Amino acid sequence: MQFNTTSHRTVSLILALFIFTFDQVTKFVVIRSLSIGESWPETGFFRITYVANTGSAFGLLSGLNHILIFVALMGIFVILWVLIRTSSEFLIKIALGLMLAGAAGNFVDRIAYGYVIDFIDVGPWYIFNVADSAIVISVFVLIFVFSFGGKSNSVKCDKEETYQNGYSNE
Protein backbone atom coordinates (compact mmCIF):
# COMPACT_ATOMS: atom_id res chain seq x y z
CA MET A 1 0.00 0.00 0.00
CA GLN A 2 1.57 3.26 -1.18
CA PHE A 3 0.90 6.49 0.67
CA ASN A 4 1.16 9.85 -1.04
CA THR A 5 2.48 13.10 0.38
CA THR A 6 -1.00 14.25 1.40
CA SER A 7 -1.60 11.12 3.49
CA HIS A 8 1.87 11.55 5.06
CA ARG A 9 0.86 15.07 6.10
CA THR A 10 -2.48 13.85 7.41
CA VAL A 11 -0.87 11.10 9.51
CA SER A 12 1.70 13.59 10.80
CA LEU A 13 -0.95 16.14 11.78
CA ILE A 14 -3.12 13.47 13.44
CA LEU A 15 -0.06 12.28 15.38
CA ALA A 16 0.69 15.88 16.39
CA LEU A 17 -2.87 16.39 17.60
CA PHE A 18 -2.83 13.12 19.56
CA ILE A 19 0.54 13.86 21.25
CA PHE A 20 -0.46 17.48 21.95
CA THR A 21 -3.72 16.32 23.57
CA PHE A 22 -1.96 13.62 25.59
CA ASP A 23 0.61 16.19 26.76
CA GLN A 24 -2.07 18.67 27.85
CA VAL A 25 -4.20 16.02 29.58
CA THR A 26 -1.23 14.66 31.57
CA LYS A 27 -0.25 18.19 32.61
CA PHE A 28 -3.84 18.92 33.65
CA VAL A 29 -3.87 15.80 35.84
CA VAL A 30 -0.56 16.82 37.42
CA ILE A 31 -1.63 20.38 38.26
CA ARG A 32 -4.92 19.09 39.72
CA SER A 33 -3.21 16.37 41.78
CA LEU A 34 0.04 17.91 43.05
CA SER A 35 1.39 21.20 44.32
CA ILE A 36 4.50 22.70 42.71
CA GLY A 37 7.51 20.81 44.06
CA GLU A 38 5.44 17.86 45.31
CA SER A 39 6.30 14.29 44.18
CA TRP A 40 4.33 11.09 43.96
CA PRO A 41 5.61 8.80 45.30
CA GLU A 42 7.78 10.88 47.59
CA THR A 43 10.88 8.74 46.98
CA GLY A 44 12.07 6.32 44.36
CA PHE A 45 13.77 6.19 40.96
CA PHE A 46 10.63 7.06 38.99
CA ARG A 47 8.31 9.75 40.34
CA ILE A 48 5.79 12.28 39.18
CA THR A 49 7.12 15.64 40.38
CA TYR A 50 5.37 18.90 39.52
CA VAL A 51 7.94 21.50 38.48
CA ALA A 52 7.36 24.98 37.05
CA ASN A 53 10.08 25.40 34.41
CA THR A 54 10.51 29.08 33.54
CA GLY A 55 13.39 28.31 31.19
CA SER A 56 13.99 26.15 28.17
CA ALA A 57 15.58 22.70 27.99
CA PHE A 58 17.61 21.87 31.11
CA GLY A 59 16.42 25.11 32.72
CA LEU A 60 18.50 27.29 30.38
CA LEU A 61 17.29 30.87 29.76
CA SER A 62 15.30 30.82 32.99
CA GLY A 63 12.99 33.78 33.41
CA LEU A 64 12.98 34.75 29.71
CA ASN A 65 9.42 33.58 29.08
CA HIS A 66 8.56 36.32 26.55
CA ILE A 67 11.56 35.45 24.38
CA LEU A 68 10.81 31.72 24.67
CA ILE A 69 7.17 32.34 23.68
CA PHE A 70 8.34 34.21 20.57
CA VAL A 71 10.89 31.50 19.66
CA ALA A 72 8.28 28.76 20.16
CA LEU A 73 5.75 30.59 18.01
CA MET A 74 8.29 31.06 15.22
CA GLY A 75 9.26 27.39 15.54
CA ILE A 76 5.63 26.30 15.24
CA PHE A 77 5.18 28.39 12.09
CA VAL A 78 8.38 27.04 10.52
CA ILE A 79 7.46 23.43 11.33
CA LEU A 80 3.98 23.91 9.86
CA TRP A 81 5.41 25.55 6.74
CA VAL A 82 7.89 22.73 6.20
CA LEU A 83 5.25 20.11 6.93
CA ILE A 84 2.71 21.61 4.54
CA ARG A 85 4.93 23.03 1.77
CA THR A 86 7.48 20.27 1.35
CA SER A 87 7.42 16.74 0.16
CA SER A 88 9.62 14.39 2.08
CA GLU A 89 9.66 10.83 3.23
CA PHE A 90 7.27 9.46 5.82
CA LEU A 91 9.71 9.41 8.76
CA ILE A 92 10.53 13.08 8.26
CA LYS A 93 6.82 13.92 8.33
CA ILE A 94 6.44 11.86 11.53
CA ALA A 95 9.38 13.70 13.11
CA LEU A 96 7.85 17.04 12.14
CA GLY A 97 4.52 15.99 13.68
CA LEU A 98 6.24 15.06 16.93
CA MET A 99 8.21 18.31 16.94
CA LEU A 100 5.06 20.33 16.25
CA ALA A 101 3.19 18.63 19.11
CA GLY A 102 6.05 19.24 21.54
CA ALA A 103 6.54 22.88 20.57
CA ALA A 104 2.79 23.56 20.73
CA GLY A 105 2.37 21.78 24.07
CA ASN A 106 5.06 23.80 25.78
CA PHE A 107 3.94 27.00 24.02
CA VAL A 108 0.42 26.61 25.46
CA ASP A 109 1.90 26.18 28.95
CA ARG A 110 3.96 29.37 28.62
CA ILE A 111 0.89 31.34 27.52
CA ALA A 112 -1.50 29.82 30.09
CA TYR A 113 0.75 29.57 33.16
CA GLY A 114 3.88 31.62 32.46
CA TYR A 115 6.01 28.48 32.68
CA VAL A 116 6.20 24.94 31.30
CA ILE A 117 4.79 22.14 33.44
CA ASP A 118 7.38 19.37 33.84
CA PHE A 119 6.58 16.24 35.82
CA ILE A 120 8.35 13.08 34.61
CA ASP A 121 11.10 12.56 37.18
CA VAL A 122 13.42 9.66 36.39
CA GLY A 123 16.49 9.11 38.55
CA PRO A 124 19.21 11.74 38.25
CA TRP A 125 17.95 13.25 34.97
CA TYR A 126 16.18 16.53 34.49
CA ILE A 127 12.44 16.54 35.01
CA PHE A 128 10.57 16.69 31.69
CA ASN A 129 7.12 16.22 30.12
CA VAL A 130 5.41 14.49 27.18
CA ALA A 131 6.05 17.48 24.88
CA ASP A 132 9.77 17.39 25.69
CA SER A 133 9.82 13.65 24.96
CA ALA A 134 8.15 14.21 21.58
CA ILE A 135 10.77 16.80 20.63
CA VAL A 136 13.67 14.56 21.67
CA ILE A 137 12.23 11.58 19.77
CA SER A 138 11.75 13.78 16.69
CA VAL A 139 15.40 14.82 16.79
CA PHE A 140 16.51 11.18 17.01
CA VAL A 141 14.25 10.27 14.08
CA LEU A 142 15.72 13.11 11.99
CA ILE A 143 19.27 12.09 12.91
CA PHE A 144 18.45 8.51 11.89
CA VAL A 145 16.88 9.54 8.57
CA PHE A 146 19.62 11.96 7.59
CA SER A 147 22.39 9.60 8.73
CA PHE A 148 21.15 6.37 7.21
CA GLY A 149 18.98 7.75 4.43
CA GLY A 150 15.81 6.47 3.02
CA LYS A 151 14.55 7.00 -0.46
CA SER A 152 16.07 10.49 -0.21
CA ASN A 153 17.86 12.61 2.34
CA SER A 154 16.49 15.80 0.85
CA VAL A 155 13.35 17.80 1.41
CA LYS A 156 11.81 19.22 -1.76
CA CYS A 157 9.05 21.73 -2.36
CA ASP A 158 5.90 20.07 -3.72
CA LYS A 159 5.89 22.29 -6.80
CA GLU A 160 9.47 21.31 -7.70
CA GLU A 161 8.78 17.62 -7.22
CA THR A 162 5.50 17.60 -9.11
CA TYR A 163 6.67 19.50 -12.18
CA GLN A 164 10.21 18.25 -12.59
CA ASN A 165 10.36 16.74 -16.10
CA GLY A 166 6.57 16.93 -16.25
CA TYR A 167 6.13 13.96 -13.93
CA SER A 168 5.60 13.56 -10.22
CA ASN A 169 8.40 11.84 -8.32
CA GLU A 170 5.94 10.32 -5.84
User: pLDDT tens-digit profile of 25-66?
Assistant: 999 999 999 999 999 999 999 999 999 998 777 666 677 788
Q: Is 109 a catalytic residue?
A: no
pLDDT band at 85 (very low <50, low <70, confident <90, very high): confident
Q: How far apart are CA 35 and CA 47, in angstroms?
A: 14
Average per-residue pLDDT for the chain: 86
Q: How far apart are CA 40 and CA 25, in angstroms?
A: 17
* pLDDT for the residue numbered 62: 73
DSSP 8-state symbol, 156: E
Q: What value does the mean pLDDT take over residues 95-119? A: 96
Q: Which of 23, 109, 121, 132 is catalytic?
A: 132
Give me the residue spans of the domains in the chain: 5-166
* pLDDT for the residue numbered 58: 65
pLDDT band at 148 (very low <50, low <70, confident <90, very high): confident
Q: Which of 23, 109, 118, 121 is catalytic?
A: 118
According to DSSP, the β-strands at 156-157 and 86-87 are: antiparallel
* pLDDT for the residue numbered 64: 78
Q: Is 118 a catalytic residue?
A: yes
